[in-house]
Chain A
Amino acid sequence: MSFQDKLAEKKSKIVARWIEAVLASYSADGASFFKRQKDRFANPLGFAAKTGLTAIYEQLVGDAPAGEMPAELAQFIKLRSVQTFTPSQAVGFVFQLKPVLVEQLGWETLLAAGQEWSELAAKIDRLALKLFDLYVEDRELLHEVKLSEYKKGNHILAAGRCPSSALGGDSQAERVELKVIRDC
């Protein structure tokens, strides 16, 4: 049986272990729920992780050149970009695939695969870099969203004290500040 065939044959077990490893980055309660609930709307994180990792595994082990980034994986990275992970934690889960492959196929199989294993390992590395690019794009987008909210100026209005507050006998300094606001 070729290396490719073995990767295909063990696909469901390998992907399941990989997903389990990735979800272990959340609390035990969180991970257990993300794994259990199958409804994609009741459990968007779990669905994105499962669908995204399955799709990318097929790309990684297939012959075809790397295809488009699965939308669910992109969504998963986007979510991790706004969770409390460091950048390396947010994308580093990709590397968990390697120990999972060792566990599921055994070193002997991998060593025997030689060049093919080395190529797969390199693909995994490249995927991590791609996901890091996505992560950075997502963070930039987040800052654009923040900036756009800031530009709308709601905070200025909220912070600009209503001059009628001066009627309440506030300090002289505050009145001066209010005059400045009014003059603006």
Chain B
Amino acid sequence: MANQKADELGVSVAREPSLMTGAIPTQDWWDIPAVFKPGNYCYPGKPEMVAYHSKSLPGKFGEPRVWNIESDDWKLPENWKEIIINGFKERLDKFRSLKIFMDCCVRCGACADKCHFFLGTGDPKNMPVLRAELMRSIYRNEFTKAGKILGKLAGAREMTFGVLKEWFMYYYQCTECRRCSVFCPYGIDTAEITMIARELLHLVGVNTNWILEPAANSNRTGNHMGLQPHTLKENAEYLCDDIESITGIRITPSWNRKGAEVLFITPSADLFADPGIYTFMGYLLLFEHIGLDYTLSTYASEGGNFGLFTNNELMKRLNAKMYAEAKRLGVKWILGGECGHMWRVLHQYMDTMNGPADFLQVPKSPITGTVFENAASTKMVHISEFTADLIRHGKLKLDPSRNNHRRVTFHDSCNPARAMGLLEEPRYVIKNVANNFYEMPENTIRESTFCCGSGTGLNTGEIMDLRMRSGLPRANAVQFVKDKHDVNTLSCVCAIDRATLTNLVDFWVPGTQVCGVSELVGNALVMDGEKERESGLRFEPLEGMEG
């Protein structure tokens, strides 16, 4: 048995805060202040961006100003508390779901350890239950009798500047991935709590530029980068040049063509960002292969809906642009590319906000005759559903050995997986276009998939440390299949994933490439009149062509 001194030493080692290890002292969660330091926050919105959004949605984005997140003066309006509380009340009246989510949590803790931010930080305020508690405590104080009478005893607290800082810190450490919601016995959609919190923050001008600027560009120009029509068209032409070099086939996609059967909308990143561009090349090859009567649009040139990260009215507006363009062009239905949150908006909010899209027809594949009843109201079909149907009906000539240089795993992108149930189709496609496919462990895929850690507008460089720690659970599973099966390719169906997983694996699992599923399709498609393929769509040599 150890002597008394050693016992004391043992206690000091294991149970108390330590200068050496930086242990966090044990305090009530609301006594621990949020401290902003370079690297743990996104830069605030530029005044001109706030002014731009305020023009079309007055009062929703606060006062344009220059402000410093690290300072204790955020230059808030004098009545900022009133604005927040009134905004809260308005939303409780408008969204019954919010009221239920505020009331019905029994703090069972089922969600507590499901968040990738918690798993990468150990910070209790990153437990979804506690993150929601940041708002619930204010809700109780302002809108419940128990909270008004019993205060802290009933888990209520006043809205203060410290709380506002906490909201800004932790509702921007949530990617609205909804993994926690899968485990909630009450079905509380924690992402919607984050969405409302961000809306309230916007009311008093507390925001991030990485979200406001892309949202402004999408609203004004049609895509989040602000790429104009000629730039989009030229970029596509460059990619067609590459397709011709690789396959010998010249493709000429049509733009803004009235009377086309299908309008194809994809994230704009697929037109200019590596590795999304290879996914785009895959789409074009597929459409050429089956002779689809489609058009792209320079106005509805963004699948991603940055409104989802700001305010429901902006979300509605950006979603409506896609439908307005479909109406203008007179297409029959819309085909959607490999995007993440476009599908959450589409599948869960579009019909209420802008639907039903009665001026379009229920999507019917012109090649197989399949009617996509699941899209009967939104009239929009996912490219993986469309491709899987083509394969199922034997309409594609495929040579999966052209992906033999790739040992593939599949990351279920959060929104398609959890917000629309797209689980089997991408897998079915991959298994038909590639010979080497390996699943990551069961509790890291499908409905339980781990987020890339950078969604909802968190994919900005100033918080790279945060992105890497929140992406750990995803990367950890990739590392496992790399060690076990020598996996070298992480496929996915989301543009933010394609951009951010690339950074994540460069840090955690070097030597892994990220690709869209349609890139693999493009590699495998045997085109009429093509030349012998020596390389894949990113000019990488195919198996046996390395010399």
Question: A residues touching B (Cβ–Cβ < 8 Å)?
Answer: 17, 20-22, 24-31, 33-34, 37, 39-45, 75, 78-79, 82-86, 88-89, 92-93, 95-96, 99-100, 102-104, 106-107, 141-142, 144-146, 148-150, 152, 154-155, 157-165, 168, 170, 174
Q: Which of B452-474 contact A (CB under 8 A)?
A: 461, 464-466, 468-469, 472-473
Asked if B14 and A20 make an inter-chain contact with CB atoms under 8 angstroms apart, the answer reads yes
In the complex, A164 Cα to B223 Cα: how many Å? 13
Residue from A41, A83, A96 whose CB has the most chain B CB atoms within 10 Å: A41
Specify which chain A residues have a CB less than 8 angstroms from the CB of B425 in the assembled complex.
Answer: none
| A150 smallest CB distance to B (angstroms) | 6
| A18 smallest CB distance to B (angstroms) | 9
- Partner of A41 from the list B6, B48, B112, B477 (CB cut-off 8 Å) is B477
Specify which chain B residues have a CB less than 8 angstroms from the CB of A17 in the assembled complex.
Answer: 10, 13-14
- Partner of A24 from the list B14, B225, B464 (CB cut-off 8 Å) is B14
In the complex, A84 Cα to B272 Cα: how many Å? 34
| B117 smallest CB distance to A (angstroms) | 11
B228 contacts the other chain (CB 8 A): yes
Asked if B122 and A33 make an inter-chain contact with CB atoms under 8 angstroms apart, the answer reads yes
- Partner of A142 from the list B23, B113, B465 (CB cut-off 8 Å) is B465
Contacts A/B (CB < 8 Å), 25 sampled: A17-B13, A17-B14, A24-B14, A24-B23, A25-B23, A29-B127, A30-B124, A41-B476, A41-B477, A42-B443, A45-B120, A79-B469, A83-B120, A83-B121, A88-B20, A92-B20, A102-B9, A103-B7, A104-B2, A142-B465, A154-B225, A154-B499, A157-B225, A161-B226, A164-B228
Nearest 3 CB-CB pairings of A with B: A30-B122, A25-B21, A26-B122
Asked if A165 and B20 make an inter-chain contact with CB atoms under 8 angstroms apart, the answer reads no
- Partner of B228 from the list A82, A93, A163 (CB cut-off 8 Å) is A163
- Partner of A160 from the list B10, B55, B224, B226 (CB cut-off 8 Å) is B226
Asked if A89 and B21 make an inter-chain contact with CB atoms under 8 angstroms apart, the answer reads yes
B221 contacts the other chain (CB 8 A): yes
Asked if B9 and A93 make an inter-chain contact with CB atoms under 8 angstroms apart, the answer reads no
The residue of chain B having its C-beta at the shortest distance from the C-beta of A155 within the complex is B461
Asked if B6 and A102 make an inter-chain contact with CB atoms under 8 angstroms apart, the answer reads yes
- Partner of A162 from the list B17, B119, B217, B479 (CB cut-off 8 Å) is B217
In the complex, A96 Cα to B464 Cα: how many Å? 29
In the complex, A79 Cα to B471 Cα: how many Å? 10
Asked if B123 and A30 make an inter-chain contact with CB atoms under 8 angstroms apart, the answer reads yes
Asked if A142 and B464 make an inter-chain contact with CB atoms under 8 angstroms apart, the answer reads yes
- Partner of B18 from the list A25, A44, A165 (CB cut-off 8 Å) is A25
Specify which chain B residues have a CB less than 8 angstroms from the CB of A40 in the assembled complex.
Answer: 476, 480
Specify which chain A residues have a CB less than 8 angstroms from the CB of B124 in the assembled complex.
Answer: 27, 29-30
Asked if B472 and A30 make an inter-chain contact with CB atoms under 8 angstroms apart, the answer reads no
Specify which chain B residues have a CB less than 8 angstroms from the CB of A29 in the assembled complex.
Answer: 112, 122, 124, 127
Asked if A150 and B461 make an inter-chain contact with CB atoms under 8 angstroms apart, the answer reads yes
Asked if B21 and A22 make an inter-chain contact with CB atoms under 8 angstroms apart, the answer reads yes
- Partner of B225 from the list A44, A141, A158, A170 (CB cut-off 8 Å) is A158
In the complex, A174 Cα to B46 Cα: how many Å? 14
Specify which chain B residues have a CB less than 8 angstroms from the CB of A22 in the assembled complex.
Answer: 21
| A33 smallest CB distance to B (angstroms) | 5
In the complex, A163 Cα to B15 Cα: how many Å? 60
Specify which chain B residues have a CB less than 8 angstroms from the CB of A145 in the assembled complex.
Answer: 464, 468, 503, 506-507
Q: With A25-B22, A148-B506 in contact, is A31–B10 under 8 Å at CB?
A: no
Asked if A152 and B472 make an inter-chain contact with CB atoms under 8 angstroms apart, the answer reads no
Specify which chain A residues have a CB less than 8 angstroms from the CB of B272 in the assembled complex.
Answer: 157
Q: With A103-B2, A162-B217 in contact, is A85–B22 under 8 Å at CB?
A: yes
Asked if B119 and A45 make an inter-chain contact with CB atoms under 8 angstroms apart, the answer reads yes
Specify which chain B residues have a CB less than 8 angstroms from the CB of A89 in the assembled complex.
Answer: 20-22
B30-72: contact bitstring with A at CB < 8 Å (1 yes, 0 no)?
Answer: 0000000100100000001000100100000000000000000
B371 contacts the other chain (CB 8 A): no
Q: With A17-B10, A25-B18, A162-B220 in contact, is A44–B465 under 8 Å at CB?
A: no
B479-515: contact bitstring with A at CB < 8 Å (1 yes, 0 no)?
Answer: 1100000000000000000010001001110000000
Specify which chain A residues have a CB less than 8 angstroms from the CB of B225 in the assembled complex.
Answer: 154, 157-158
Asked if A79 and B120 make an inter-chain contact with CB atoms under 8 angstroms apart, the answer reads yes
- Partner of B469 from the list A33, A83, A162 (CB cut-off 8 Å) is A83
Q: Which of B373-413 contact A (CB under 8 A)?
A: none
Specify which chain B residues have a CB less than 8 angstroms from the CB of A83 in the assembled complex.
Answer: 120-121, 465, 469
| B364 smallest CB distance to A (angstroms) | 36
In the complex, A158 Cα to B221 Cα: how many Å? 12
In the complex, A170 Cα to B46 Cα: how many Å? 15
| B216 smallest CB distance to A (angstroms) | 8
Asked if B113 and A42 make an inter-chain contact with CB atoms under 8 angstroms apart, the answer reads yes
In the complex, A1 Cα to B168 Cα: how many Å? 59
In the complex, A159 Cα to B210 Cα: how many Å? 10
Asked if A44 and B227 make an inter-chain contact with CB atoms under 8 angstroms apart, the answer reads no
Asked if A158 and B13 make an inter-chain contact with CB atoms under 8 angstroms apart, the answer reads no
Asked if A30 and B118 make an inter-chain contact with CB atoms under 8 angstroms apart, the answer reads yes
In the complex, A165 Cα to B228 Cα: how many Å? 11
In the complex, A78 Cα to B6 Cα: how many Å? 32
List 17 additional contacts besides A75-B508, A82-B466; criterion CB under 8 Å.
A20-B14, A21-B13, A24-B13, A25-B21, A25-B22, A27-B122, A29-B124, A85-B22, A103-B2, A104-B2, A107-B3, A141-B506, A142-B465, A148-B506, A149-B503, A150-B461, A158-B210
The residue of chain B having its C-beta at the shortest distance from the C-beta of A161 within the complex is B226
Specify which chain B residues have a CB less than 8 angstroms from the CB of A45 in the assembled complex.
Answer: 119-120, 122, 472
B133 contacts the other chain (CB 8 A): no
B213 contacts the other chain (CB 8 A): yes
- Partner of A96 from the list B20, B123, B507 (CB cut-off 8 Å) is B20
In the complex, A107 Cα to B24 Cα: how many Å? 29
Specify which chain B residues have a CB less than 8 angstroms from the CB of A150 in the assembled complex.
Answer: 461
In the complex, A162 Cα to B14 Cα: how many Å? 57
In the complex, A51 Cα to B7 Cα: how many Å? 26
The residue of chain A having its C-beta at the shortest distance from the C-beta of B225 within the complex is A157
In the complex, A83 Cα to B16 Cα: how many Å? 20
Q: With A103-B7, A152-B274 in contact, is A28–B113 under 8 Å at CB?
A: no
The residue of chain B having its C-beta at the shortest distance from the C-beta of A94 within the complex is B20
| A105 smallest CB distance to B (angstroms) | 8
Residue from B12, B123, B220, B507 whose CB has the most chain A CB atoms within 10 Å: B507
